[in-house]
Amino acid sequence: MQPLRGFLVLTHTTEKTPVANIDETRLLEQARAWDERALLEIYDAFRPGLYRYAYRLLGQTEAAEECVADVFARFLVALRRGKGPKRSLRAYLYRMVFNWTQDRFRERDPHVIDEHLERTLKTPHATPEDEALRRERAERLRAALHQLPPRQAQVLALRFLEGFSLEEVAEVLDTSVSAVKSLQHRGMAQLRRLLQSQEG
């Protein structure tokens, strides 16, 4: 189960940068009134984390930048239409990023190796043979992750790539902690089965 161990390494190699402690209720009220300072504060506070999350899911700098720009543009359109987040701004924006990346995955060449997974699984001073094996493991792992049902993939991405707590993931998915635990358990079991079937 080398590829699965490689995925779990992400929990130890990825630092979590906490989202700035801001008053979301105040900012949302001001943003709905089209207060430019509030809109800029939202962008400054959330952009770094959203970009990092998008990059980890997409593995490409330009795609991650496009994702974040599009997510903020859609957020502004939603506000203009009197819509947008009702409670948690953070959960709303992370949901939008994940949904955007899922759309992009459907368009991508399935044989393109995810750059982030490659770097994460890279071994220093590897021989050409080691490097070939690493690339093969990264490709199998990337393919397996993208075969998971979206909510399972989202839970694993937030938990193991972003380091979110169960409670934080529950907020993003607008569900209970017990549901997140169940999704995580099923997601890891499905990931294991997918990797085993690839090895067979």
113-143 pLDDT, tens digit per residue, is 344 445 544 555 667 777 777 667 766 766 7
Q: Distance between CA atoms of 50 and 88, rounded to whole angstroms?
A: 15
Q: Count other Cβ atoms within 10 Å, centred on residue 199.
A: 10
Q: Distance between CA atoms of 33 and 46, rounded to whole angstroms?
A: 19
Indicate the range of 10-19, 28-37, 81-90, 137-146 predicted with least confidence: 10-19
CA dihedral 5, 104, 170, 167 (to 10 degrees): 50
**For residue 118, what are its two tokens?**
């490659």
**For residue 90, what are its two tokens?**
């953070």
Percent of the chain whose predicted confidence (pLDDT) is above 90:
36
Indicate the range of 13-27, 37-51, 73-87, 121-135 predicted with least confidence: 13-27
Q: Which residue has the higher pLDDT, 94 or 1?
A: 94
3-state DSSP assignment of residue 63:
helix
3-state DSSP assignment of residue 200:
coil
Per-residue pLDDT at 194: 85
Which one-letter DSSP state was computed for residue 148? S
pLDDT surpasses 90 at 107: no
Mean of the pLDDT values across residues 159-186?
A: 91
User: Could you tell me the pTM of the whole model?
Assistant: 0.69
